[in-house]
Structure 1
Amino acid sequence: MVHTTFNSEYHFGKRSSRQVELSSNLYQVVINGEDGEYIEYEIEADSHSEASVKAEALAADSFVDISYIEVYLIH
């Protein structure tokens, strides 16, 4: 089993001469493969769909044939 954690940087935007911190949510994503294997990731993203897209790309890098993806909001 592989555990991968992404660390992302905080982004600051300028709005009315103030700095606004834009943060993401933390998601636990489980990639279930067609051969019964699974890989878990903790991914920082703005939405469930963005987290699943990032996890899908990671699974492709690991050559896993995806059966289905589970996405859970951790915070």
Structure 2
Amino acid sequence: MVHTTFNSEYHFGKRSSRQVELSSNLYQVVINGEDGEYIEYEIEADSHSEASAKAEALAADSFIDISYIEVYLIH
């Protein structure tokens, strides 16, 4: 089983207000296999191409023959 890890940074100001910042963008990735199976992930990446590359690596780990990959920017 594959688990995606998200990193975030918390900054505290003088008034104790909390800000949450992601170091990159969040993408929803759908890996569609040749046999009709699909897997969905949320991936943190700097670009669509980096998210696609991470999705290809996840598909290889899951032994899925890729038909196509869908990448959607969430945040």
With the shorter chain as reference, the TM-score category is 0.7 to 0.9
**Distance change (3 Å), C-alpha of 1:19 and 1:33:** closer
Alpha-carbon separation, structure 1, partners of 2:23 and 2:14: 14
Identity of aligned residues (%): 97
Instruction: Tell me the number of residue pairs that the alignment of Structure 1 and Structure 2 aligns.
Output: 75
Q: Gapped runs of 5+ residues in structure 1?
A: none
Alpha-carbon separation, structure 1, partners of 2:45 and 2:58: 14
Aligned 8 A contact 1:25 1:45 in 2? yes
The runs of 4+ residues in structure 1 deviating greater than 2 Å are 1-22
TM-score, L = length of structure 1: 0.73
* Alpha-carbon offset, residue 70 of structure 1: 0.2
Alpha-carbon separation, structure 2, partners of 1:20 and 1:6: 12
Alpha-carbon separation, structure 2, partners of 1:33 and 1:11: 41
Q: Quick check: which one's strand share is greater? A: 1
Q: CA RMSD in A?
A: 5.3
Deviations 1:8-64 (A, max 9, x none): 679999999999988200000000000000000100000000000001100100000
* Alpha-carbon offset, residue 72 of structure 1: 0.1
SS at match of 1:40: strand
**Distance change (3 Å), C-alpha of 1:54 and 1:8:** farther
SS at match of 2:8: coil
Which range moves more in the overlay, 4-13 or 57-66? 4-13
Which range moves more in the overlay, 50-59 or 11-20? 11-20
